[in-house]
Amino acid sequence: MTSSPRRRLLVAAAVLPFVPGIALAQTCGRQTAPQTPGPFFKPDSPVKSVLFEKGQKSVLLVVSGAVLSAQCRPVANALLDFWHADEFGEYDNKGFRFRGHQFTDAQGRWRLETILPGEYPGRARHIHAKVQAPGKRILTTQLYFPAALGHHDDGLYRRDLEMRMPKAGEGSFDFVIDA
Ligand code: FE
């Protein structure tokens, strides 16, 4: 999966300087699909990219990727706010367990260390995200897991929102947003 043409183009776009006039936009032009935030979003999450807590017996999950503009340019300092259910499929609605926000680095990269969220009735396993380039619109969406990690019998599931996960516990996804 990592060597798919789309992935190679995105990687190339991230390391090459942007040259106006070159038609990269056609390859990255499709913005990441929006999805409902669902009922469990909470504002004011802490700045935190490691949601995994010491001593947890749950399965460690590391997800990383880039935030790109529709012109395939990496978006530095983009806000990413993640929230997801715990290993039992429950959200922390009192505190901020498995909730945190972070910003992309100068290359538009981000990384989240957390646990494999549990499934809950009616939903495929997923991670919620809000992504925003500085001063631009917020994209609210959800990331899904490969079928090996759960069912896809969920009307909200979309293949284009599925993380690449060549190894169990290590996922990647590139967001393409209004920037
Ligand atoms: Fe959810």
Summarised one tens digit per residue, pLDDT across range 92-104 is 999 999 999 999 9
Tell me the CA–centroid distance for residue 148 and ligand 1, in Å: 19
For position 124, what pLDDT does the model report?
96
Q: How many Cα atoms sit within 13 Å of 115 on the Cβ side?
A: 22
Residue closest to 45 by CA, chosen among 97, 109, 104? 97
Residue closest to 128 by CA, chosen among 139, 64, 94? 139
- The confidence band for 168, taking pLDDT boundaries of 50, 70 and 90, is confident
Tell me the CA–centroid distance for residue 119 and ligand 1, in Å: 9
172 located within any domain:
yes
Under 8 Å between Cβ of 66 and 128: no
Query: Which residue range is the domain that position 97 belongs to?
Result: 21-177
Q: How many domains does the chain have?
A: 1
The pLDDT tens digits for 5-64 are 444 444 444 444 444 434 444 457 799 999 999 999 999 999 999 999 888 888 899 999
Residue type at 160 in one-letter notation: D
Tell me the CA–centroid distance for residue 125 and ligand 1, in Å: 8
pLDDT at 169 over 50: yes
13 located within any domain:
no
Q: How far is the C-alpha of 21 from the C-alpha of 104, rounded, in Å?
A: 26
Output the domain CATH number for residue 157: 2.60.130.10
Tell me the CA–centroid distance for residue 21 and ligand 1, in Å: 41
Phi, psi of 26 (to 5 degrees): -70, -25
Encoding tokens for residue 6? 């789309």
Tell me the CA–centroid distance for residue 136 and ligand 1, in Å: 24
Tell me the CA–centroid distance for residue 87 and ligand 1, in Å: 12
Instruction: Give me the chain's average pLDDT, please.
Output: 88
